[in-house]
Structure 1
Amino acid sequence: MNKMTPILDPDREFINKWEMYKLLTLHSLKNIEIPETRLFTKDSLASMLTDYPLVYIKSIATWGGKDISTVHKNGSFFEWTIQGKEALTFKNFEETYKQIDQFYHDKITIIQRGIPAIRYNGRPFDIRSHLYREMDGSWIYAGDLIRIGGEGSLVSNIGISNGSVKPTDELIALLFPNQNHHFTKDILKNVSLEICKMLDKFHFFTEVGLDFALDQNGNLWIIEVNTDDLKGCPDLELFSLLPDQSVYERIMNQKAKIYDNWIQFMIHSFDDYLKEKAKEQD
């Protein structure tokens, strides 16, 4: 694993996928699996496909499931699939690498091992947890939901795949009817809070959306850590798609309250500044 200190993107003020992987592996996080990830090169692709039959390839700065592809090694054949497109099959590794390299040639790219994730009705899904920062600097666990990818999708991002959302408890009950699994909402909440506190040591963020996969035993695997940056923040509108609107309404009301408190704080701080200036001039 790469133990070098992660780097914050100075233009967008975010941590890209590669730097986030480095950050996650710097800390001993409990109750979470981190899929092995490497920078894309010919050698790293060959090595990863030797270790894992399925790998995901992603640009380090992409979001919303864009430009994600998979490579599946099946015997002596290689099947490459780009999100939203038909799979291409190659008879040898050289041609596989050549085509992938041409597609990602202008982007810094990572290779991530295929997580041994379970599916729902043959479709990929993940658990999205959302957290935001209170005025006192503490993290608030706002809620969670399940994102389910559309038919034939590689990813669970609902916008790019025409997917859907479900309440977490509802889908967990369907996936594990005998309750024979390790997953609990407390573990999900604690892991999410632990990652946010880890981020605090590196940079100040105000919102975080975490995406997790589940394996057949109900263990959590981290897929992605999404933070607010100069281009936006994790998608809150996902919660508006749930049958129960209470979580969405609570988040929006609390965010409005925090925003008003910040405005009042800035106004009072400016008033205090003007008063101090006036005293200096007397």
Structure 2
Amino acid sequence: MNPLAKNYASRNIRGKLRVCDYMRADSKLREYVPRTVAFNRANLEMMTDRYSAVYVKPDVGSQGIGVCRVRKTEAGYELKTVEGKKQWKAAYETIEALYNRIVKLRRSKLIVQQGIGLDRVKGRPYDIRAMVQRKPGKSWECTGYMVKVGGANKIVTNYYQGGAIYTLRRLEKERGLSSGEGKARKRMMTEVALRIASTLSARRSGMHEMGIDFAFDGAGRLWVLEVNSNHPQFHPLKQLAPKMYYKMQEFAESYGRYSAK
């Protein structure tokens, strides 16, 4: 039996582009969602012309696998991509050559997303996973957070790709944030996370959990990078923050989930 197979009562919304479209349709969420479009040649050219970096991602995927970062350079385009746990880089002179290379790599439907210049800790980019859950018949609650710090020179922050996991408290200490700054950031993420949960669950009944990946850019602006409603993992917290972990597990068990992986 696949230990990651989802066999419990919590429905999900499939597809990153669909999720982004649902969030951008909400006037209160639109400002937090990076521009995201379907992958095709015209959209790839439009996005690389408009933004300093873009990410090409599987519309359905996890663990950072198959993610590409594209940057426009004076000589053309730089492509970095993740295959399995390996990352490699190449350069292309034309959008046509770049597009054809990505097409050869493609194993499923792709999206193109505006790249965000992530804030850094110890010189490494990070994002913050908010776990939002509800017991059957109850309201949504933000049950905890974990910070995903990218591995050295990696274009993704996933734990699977060699990243590290921090608590919010450790992040605040390492970043030199005051207690007030840390509380304000957490309050903002919680408010947006609950709005996202309410908005998406109105589109799809039977949802009980979401892992929402937030990021702050270098200017301190909050962004929503991704929402995972298909078996978001929280097992790294068992050793790092056991009180938070067991709260998430209590909620999970209420809708039939017994594994944090």
TM-score normalised by the shorter chain: which range applies?
0.7 to 0.9
Percent identity, aligned pairs only?
A: 25
Unaligned stretches of 5+ residues in structure 1:
1-11, 261-282
Deviation of the 1:85 alpha carbon? 2.1
Count of residues in correspondence between the two structures: 241
CA distance in 2 between counterparts of 1:152 and 1:112 reads: 20
Q: Which residue of 1 aligns with 2:155?
A: 154
Shift of 1:31: 9.1
Root-mean-square deviation (CA), in Å?
2.2
Which has the greater radius of gyration?
Answer: 1
Structure 2: 5+ residue stretches without partners? 1-10, 257-261
In structure 1, the partner of 2:88 is 86
Counterparts of 1:165-244 in structure 2, within 5 Å, are: 165-177=165-177, 183-204=184-205, 205-228=207-230, 233-242=231-240, 244=241
| 8 Å Cα contact 1:181-1:217 kept in structure 2 | no
Higher relative contact order structure (alpha carbons within 8 Å, sequence separation ≥ 6) = 2
| Cα pair distance change 1:241/1:156, threshold 3 Å | farther
Give the structure-2-normalised TM-score.
Answer: 0.84
For residues 219 and 86 of structure 1, what CA distance do their matches in structure 2 show? Answer: 30
Q: Cα distance 1:129–1:88, how it changes in 2: closer, same or farther (>3 A)?
A: same
Q: Compute the TM-score of the two structures, normalised by the length of structure 1.
A: 0.79
Change (3 A) 1:97 1:64: same
Report how far residue 121 of structure 1 moved.
2.5
CA deviation after TM superposition for structure 1 residue 90, in Å: 1.6
Q: Is the 8 A contact 1:173 1:179 kept in 2?
A: no
**Which whole-Å deviations, capped at 9, do the CAs of 1:13-55 have from their partners, x for residues lacking one?**
5321111111111101259521111111111111111111211
Where is the strand percentage greater, Structure 1 or Structure 2? 2
Specify the alignment match of 1:267 in structure 2.
Answer: none
In 1: Cα distance, 2:63 partner to 2:255 partner: 26
1:45 aligns with 2:40: no
Residues in 2 aligned to 1:178 and 1:100: alpha-carbon distance in whole angstroms: 43
Dislocated runs of 4+, deviation >4 Å: 178-183
Q: Is residue 13 of structure 2 the alignment partner of residue 14 of structure 1?
A: yes
